[in-house]
Copies of this chain bind each other. A is one copy, B any other.
Amino acid sequence: MKLEENPLVEYFQVAIASSLVLFGFDGEELFILLSRKSHEPFKDAYILPGKYVKPSEGNDAVMHELLNERIGVNPDSIYLEQLKAFSKVFRNPLGRVVNIAYYALVKLTPEVKKHSNDFENDWIPYNKIPDLAFDHNDIIIYAKERLKRRVKRRPVGFNLLPEEFTLSQLQALYEKALNRELDKRNFRKKIFNSNLIIETGNQTDPNLYRKVSKLYRFDEEKYEKMTLKGYDFLF
């Protein structure tokens, strides 16, 4: 059917865009990926990475493209979830644009850092997000709250930490995401009691750290269960 023949033609004049709040953790700090606008308007301003979505495209497919091409991470190996639609009637002179926002979690390896930087993106510390164009600050606020809830109720470390990690790294992740300090002994008790992690027998490289520490990995089966059902406890 041609658009002109559509009885609801007056409705079919909206565009979809999808923006992504991508959280990355490097073992010490939490970051959010921001894009720098290369053209006017708002040249050099930061925005969330995003794309317009054609009527024939699925949102998920567009997000996968974005992750693959402009960010350099494999979409199948990360956690990706829709946040919600931000659908205020914008002052965008081009027309009504609905932003279907996503959030995702990624291990922040040097390779990912490099690739995403090549595409005019910067990893900005979680607590130092500047003013962004449009309503993108609202989207980030919403995403941070979602992350906080997820961290409290479900395991998220698998998506943000390397295969093998130390308990200190895990704790640092929780502290950054929840924005408060946790007691080391109580944290360890809670994690061990959950049976979520397994000692690998390996240790950190003695050349890198002052003192070696034990490395752990997630019990994937248990992790899957908790991702679906949540913890029995709360952080």
Contact = CB atoms under 8 A, between A and B. Distances in A.
Q: Which of A10, A82, A94 has the most CB of B within 10 A?
A: A94
| Integer count of this chain's copies in the complex | 2
Interface stretch (A32-40, A85-93, A116-124, A193-201): A85-93
- Interface residues on chain A, size class: 20 to 34
Contacts of A55: 10-11, 13-14, 89, 95-96
Given A15-B8, A94-B6, A59 B84 contact: no
A114 interface: no
Given A12-B95, A16-B87, 18 more contacts: A1-B93, A7-B94, A10-B55, A11-B15, A11-B16, A12-B94, A13-B55, A56-B89, A56-B96, A58-B88, A58-B89, A59-B85, A59-B87, A82-B84, A82-B85, A83-B84, A84-B84, A234-B234
Interface of A: 1, 3, 6-8, 10-16, 52-59, 82-85, 87-89, 93-96, 98, 100, 234
